[in-house]
Amino acid sequence: MYSRYPLKLVTVDLLHEGCWTSFLDNKVQVIAHHSNGHVVRDLVVGKPDSFKVIKRLDRSTRINSILNVSYLNDGRVLVDMTLDYRIPFSPC
């Protein structure tokens, strides 16, 4: 399809308070994101220092579990993890 308006590549960086990404000094790339209701599965790539931080985070940052970790040839780490976005119940 031809268009006289060229496509533009846009990069968006988000930071939300209390999210696991706000604890990282280095950027990570989310290369796959699958939502199944309140549970989200992310496949992220980053530096080994980022993985060390992710490993220490608890459920308050929405990380439910780390399913798999692979060390890539270029020195980066591939992390397969699930996040839980259910709002905790707090009785009145």
Mean pLDDT of the chain: 81
pTM of the model: 0.69
With a cut of 80, say whether residue 18 has pLDDT above it: no
Q: Which amino acid is at 8?
A: K
Taking alpha carbons only, the member of 11, 68, 79, 12 closest to residue 44 is 79
SS (H, E, C) 51-79: HHHHHHCCHHHCEEEEEEEEECCCCCEEE
Question: How far is the C-alpha of 55 from the C-alpha of 61, rounded, in Å?
Answer: 11
Higher local confidence (pLDDT), 37 or 15: 37
**Mean pLDDT over residues 10-26, rounded?**
73
Mean pLDDT of 14-23: 70
| In the predicted structure, residue 41 carries a pLDDT above the cut 80 | yes
pLDDT value at 29 more than 80? yes
